[in-house]
Amino acid sequence: MNRTPRITEAEWEIMRICWRRSPVSAQEIIEALAAPDPWHPKTVKTLLNRLVKKGALGFQKEGRAYRYEPLVAEKDCVTAESQSFLDRVFGGSLKPMLSHFVENRALTPGEIAELKKLLQPKDKK
């Protein structure tokens, strides 16, 4: 697939289950979404159908049940969603986004060290 489909917040919940447990039935997804606030089975099935139409999920029929498998990698969806967020909220610029999160979030010394470690190879280029 050339283009990563746009996935809604509710669809992300279903995709996370599919990425972890593939292949997975609708009933298994419904059970995985049971806590803390159960999803209505019809809602889950509607979202599964949307994800199939978008090309994010494929399925195989096994008797009366369908088993769903992701057709897109989680990494590709995260990359597309991150870029979309960056474009929409920060005009595509990384610096204001990083500044915002660093200034508005409490970072532990370990997180600060991790960020420095991530940025060091970029600094050498």
Tens-digit pLDDT profile for residues 23-37 = 999 999 999 998 888
Helix (H, G, I), strand (E, B) or coil at 109: helix
Q: Are residues 10 and 57 in the same domain?
A: yes
Residue 105: DSSP 8-state:
S
Q: Are residues 3 and 30 in the same domain?
A: yes
Q: Are residues 78 and 113 in the same domain?
A: no
Q: Are residues 97 and 85 in the same domain?
A: no
Residues of the chain with pLDDT under 70: 1-2, 125
pLDDT at 125: 65
Q: Are residues 101 and 59 in the same domain?
A: no
pLDDT at 121: 83
pLDDT at 2: 54
Q: Are residues 104 and 119 in the same domain?
A: yes
pTM reported for the whole predicted model: 0.81
CATH assignment at residue 42: 1.10.10.10
